[in-house]
Amino acid sequence: MKICLTPLELKKIAQKIVSEARELKNKYEIEPNAPVNYACIFSQSEKEFQVLLEAAEKSGKIIEQTRMGPLFQITPIPTVAGDLQLLKIRLPDKNRPERGDADFTLEHYLDFKSKCLTKPGFALIKKEKFEMIELADKNFNVLAYFSHPPLTEQFGLV
């Protein structure tokens, strides 16, 4: 990893993660036009985390500190799934070798939830203020999530 990362390079990483997560979502025929509402870059080392963090700080402001890394509200980044306003930089985690994840807003979340949880690759994760469904596929280097309510709604960005 370079010592310095420009906001443009950070933007390209986020766009690639959203694009690959959209491919993953669409492989499972999940609302093809569902917009992205959040993305996360998984750093693979402490050094990479610092480089990503510095670039993200130039692209927006921290709106929440989580135990896994800061969440930024950034200047919107155009992606294949709409404008991205929320970007998290995740601390290195040996259990997360993927490059990142993207979270999509589903129009029919409850219907989706009732159908998908019996299928391989899907898992329900309950948080204090929301829940999300994770989609993982070993053929992809990203994860896709579907939060209810979406993070953009939780932070009043819709």
The CATH number of the domain holding residue 34 is 3.10.180.10
pLDDT band, residue 3 (cuts 50/70/90): confident
- Output the pTM of the full model: 0.95
- What is the pLDDT, as a whole number, of residue 90? 98
User: Is 2 a member of any domain?
Assistant: no
User: Is 101 a member of any domain?
Assistant: yes
Tell me the average pLDDT across 65-87.
97
| Distant-in-sequence, close-in-space partners of 83: CB < 8 Å, separation ≥ 6 | 76, 77
Q: What is the total count of domains within the chain?
A: 1
User: Is 60 a member of any domain?
Assistant: yes
Is the Cα dihedral 41, 46, 52, 58 positive or negative?
Answer: positive
Query: Residue 26 sits in which domain range?
Result: 7-154
Rounded Cα gap, residues 44 and 108, in angstroms: 34
> Using N-to-C axis directions, what is the helix angle for 7-27 and 46-59, rounded to 10°?
100
